[in-house]
């Protein structure tokens, strides 16, 4: 974080500094909400959560070196404390102020990324491209909500030139609040799908929420939209910013064609203006082409060398931990561990990739768990995935957990199968059932929402540890 005094932090957060004698102390360390991540000089925000209360961990934060505590009540501690009415609001105020100060005194450019799928992968690709050129800050993992995104923004300092903000939401208004904090120069919308549909009331509610990324962009800003998704492309009518598009559509400003997928990666031909060049991604899956296009679109609109940007993308080894991670497992088995997140669109894309990369004459295996947060759409969407497994001619399906049972039931109802789909209750049962049957040449996809925990099954099958 940029250097701020305790008094400045109290003023920005509209809080009260308990120890006035400490008003002049200057903070330059990280801002954390997890006491385990605190290092000497950190500012610790004690936030109340659904599971626990950060105020219970103030002593732990101080023991780890916290130099300032921001809390919603006075706490007995040996370091200065700022007491605020609402910790989350205070965190947002601090992030907004820091971003604005760095922007005012430096060369900072900010890009916001949202979409039902692909946010983290696109963020990682763009971070690689921008970091190749100048100091860049982007969130680790999926720090994209009302707490994680501001924490990521507070990582910037006076030397930062590029800030990449991933913006997720579980309900209306959340992306708008993040946009208000970060004030992006460029907003990217990747896709509108049914991820977290339970919180939005359906696909149109999701569309309205994702459109919050571009509705408040200034006329000097740029809205980068997926030309292949009608709901995203239609957002051009609700933004005052200049609109740029990407996709496979021949009318897109940044285009991909001749896409090919194999177990070694994904290739396509990239075109923009007079530039036309092949791109060979090491990242697995046709759906990552759109993420790469989005990253290239930002680079192009910011005046960066697109050929160099494409070369950087070709060197990115994986999208993210547990996202289409490919392993050469013992015994000649290939495991694709994609069980960090799951929505109907991402599961369908992963299954399509499984079918594409399984060599002729060898067996494809899908191990699937629950797609969470679908609300009233859960049964129909799990049913649709089960039928898709059969239509893609996947060789074996193992469904894990009662919440995902409709995948198994739908696969059986689709016909032409006899025992190819099996339903088990636990991860251990799935491992004990599958592992003894694996043979050289099998390709196994493990896919579920994070809450189902199948990412650990994928690691176990692959013979890797965290």
120 in a labelled binding site: yes
What residues does each domain of the chain span?
4-84, 90-314, 325-462
42 in a labelled binding site: no
Q: Are 35 and 61 in contact (CB under 8 A)?
A: yes
Among 297, 352, 328, residue whose Cα is nearest residue 125: 297
What is the maximal distance between C-alpha atoms in the chain? 77
Tell the CATH topology of 90-314.
3.40.1190
Q: Are 83 and 73 in contact (CB under 8 A)?
A: yes
DSSP state of 320: B
User: How far is residue 421's CA from residue 407's CA, in Å, rounded to a whole number?
Assistant: 9
119 in a labelled binding site: yes
Among 281, 285, 286, 291, residue whose Cα is nearest residue 325: 285
Instruction: Tell the residue number behind the tokens 């605020």, with chain if given.
Output: 84
121 in a labelled binding site: yes
Predicted TM-score (pTM) of the model is 0.87
Among 130, 212, 109, 205, residue whose Cα is nearest residue 167: 212
Per-residue pLDDT tens over the stretch 185-225: 999 999 998 765 556 667 888 899 999 999 999 999 999 99
Among 308, 309, 300, residue whose Cα is nearest residue 186: 300
116 in a labelled binding site: yes
User: How far is residue 381's CA from residue 342's CA, in Å, rounded to a whole number?
Assistant: 12
Side-chain-facing half-sphere of 350: CA atoms under 13 Å: 32
54 in a labelled binding site: no
Q: How far is CA 58 from CA 53, 79, 442, in A?
A: 10, 10, 50
* H or E segment and range at residue 242: strand 242-247
360 in a labelled binding site: no
Instruction: Tell the residue number behind the tokens 């960066």, with chain if given.
Output: 304
- Say if strands 421-424 and 396-400 run parallel, antiparallel, or are unpaired: parallel
Count how many residues are written for the chain.
Answer: 466
Tell the CATH topology of 4-84.
3.40.1390
90-314 matches 325-462 in fold: no
Q: Are 398 and 434 in contact (CB under 8 A)?
A: yes
Assign domain 325-462 to its CATH architecture. Alpha-Beta Complex (3.90)
pLDDT digit of tens for each residue in the chain (466 aa)? 999 999 999 999 999 999 887 889 999 999 999 999 999 999 999 999 878 899 999 999 999 999 999 999 999 999 999 999 999 999 999 999 999 999 998 899 999 999 988 998 999 999 999 999 999 999 887 678 889 999 999 999 999 999 999 998 878 899 999 999 999 999 999 999 876 555 666 788 889 999 999 999 999 999 999 999 999 999 999 999 999 999 999 999 999 999 999 988 999 999 999 999 999 999 998 999 999 999 999 999 999 999 999 999 999 987 778 888 999 999 999 999 999 889 999 999 999 999 999 999 999 999 999 999 888 889 999 999 999 999 999 999 999 999 999 999 999 888 656 668 999 999 999 999 999 999 999 999 999 999 999 999 999 999 877 6
């Amino acid at each position: 974080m940029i250097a701020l005094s305790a008094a400045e932090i109290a003023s920005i957060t509209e809080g009260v500094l308990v120890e006035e004698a400490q008003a002049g102390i200057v903070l330059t360390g990280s801002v954390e909400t997890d006491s385990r991540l605190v290092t000497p000089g950190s500012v610790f925000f004690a936030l109340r959560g659904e599971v626990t209360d950060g105020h219970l961990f103030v002593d732990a934060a101080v023991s780890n070196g916290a130099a300032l505590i921001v809390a919603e009540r006075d706490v007995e501690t040996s370091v200065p404390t700022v007491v605020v009415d609402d910790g989350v609001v205070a965190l947002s105020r601090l992030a907004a102020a820091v971003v604005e100060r760095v922007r005012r005194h430096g060369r900072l450019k900010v890009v916001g990324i949202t979409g039902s799928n692909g946010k983290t992968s696109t963020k990682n690709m763009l971070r690689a491209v921008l970091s190749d050129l100048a100091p860049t800050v982007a969130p680790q993992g999926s720090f994209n909500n009302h707490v994680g995104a501001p924490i990521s923004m507070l990582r910037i300092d006076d030397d930062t030139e590029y800030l990449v903000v991933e913006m997720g939401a579980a309900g209306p208004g959340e992306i708008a609040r993040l946009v208000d904090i970060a004030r992006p120069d460029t907003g990217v919308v990747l896709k509108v799908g049914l991820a977290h549909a339970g919180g939005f009331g359906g696909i149109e509610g999701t569309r309205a929420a994702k459109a919050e990324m571009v509705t408040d962009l200034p006329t000097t800003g740029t809205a980068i939209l997926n030309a292949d998704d009608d709901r995203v492309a239609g957002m051009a009518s609700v933004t005052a910013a200049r609109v740029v598009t990407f996709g496979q559509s021949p009318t897109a400003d940044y285009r991909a064609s001749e896409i090919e997928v194999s177990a070694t990666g994904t290739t396509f031909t990239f075109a923009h203006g007079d530039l036309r060049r092949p791109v060979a991604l090491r990242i697995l899956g046709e759906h990552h082409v759109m993420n790469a296009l989005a990253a290239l679109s930002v680079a192009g609109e910011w005046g960066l060398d697109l050929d160099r940007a494409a070369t950087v993308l070709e060197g990115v080894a994986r999208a993210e931990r547990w996202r289409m991670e490919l392993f050469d497992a013992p015994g000649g088995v290939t495991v694709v561990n994609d069980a960090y997140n799951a929505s109907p669109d991402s599961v369908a894309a992963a299954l399509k990739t499984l079918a594409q990369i399984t060599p002729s004459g060898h067996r494809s295996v899908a191990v699937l768990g629950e797609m969470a947060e679908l609300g009233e759409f859960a049964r129909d969407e799990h049913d649709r995935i089960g039928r898709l497994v059969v239509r893609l001619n996947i060789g074996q399906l193992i469904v894990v957990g009662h919440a995902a049972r409709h995948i198994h039931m739908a696969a059986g109802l689709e016909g032409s199968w006899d025992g190819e789909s099996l339903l088990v209750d636990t991860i251990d049962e799935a491992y004990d059932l599958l592992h003894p049957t694996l043979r050289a040449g099998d390709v196994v996809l493990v896919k579920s929402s994070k809450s189902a925990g199948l990412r650990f099954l994928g690691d176990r099958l692959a013979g890797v540890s965290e």
